[in-house]
A and B are shown apart, each in its own frame.
Chain A
Amino acid sequence: AQRVTQPEKLLSVFKGAPVELKCNYSYSGSPELFWYVQYSRQRLQLLLRHISRESIKGFTADLNKGETSFHLKKPFAQEEDSAMYYCALRDFGNEKLTFGTGTRLTIIP
């Protein structure tokens, strides 16, 4: 069965410093990975997906199949990045998502 692991429950970073939120997965097939974000008092929303290979709000994430990782990175943290971040894996052949436990990112001014 697939599994998504986010080892850090909490992460605090100073404004302007680099950010890396870790995500590892286990899946027998070819995975599709996502990062979802939930800002304070807002609903969960898609941040980025690995197949798009795009940068959203300065964040990027590269799928590393060798290390089975999909870490989320941003070179310079901003205060508005403070939020809950969830890594998710899509089940091949259907639309189901398996979520990690989430990392709460706090940017220190």
Chain B
Amino acid sequence: EAGVAQSPRYKIIEKRQSVAFWCNPISGHATLYWYQQILGQGPKLLIQFQNNGVVDDSQLPKDRFSAERLKGVDSTLKIQPAKLEDSAVYLCASSPVGSGSYRPSYNEQFFGPGTRLTVL
């Protein structure tokens, strides 16, 4: 079974530029998450989708960040314009929550390799 795929793996941009990240979850997983991990900290949830609907985006800085999952499969996260403090690793995860195969007793998230963003 293929894991969660993310691209690009690394991105360097200047402040005020735009950037986009892509994620393809594990096949059949209805729920997709985007996390931001700043150096030395644990990941922080930015947005959670179930199929193509947003479940939680309470910690997404909506003035500059946007995300979509139009067909309920892959997803993109965009930052426009980027700030220095956006330098972080952006992690995508997926879970079977909300899927046909989902068992209530099983709620585990599987993470992709992440995209390391450096804003200069």
**Do A and B actually bind?**
no
- Residues of B at the A interface (CB closer than 8 Å) are none
A residues at B contact (CB < 8 Å):
none
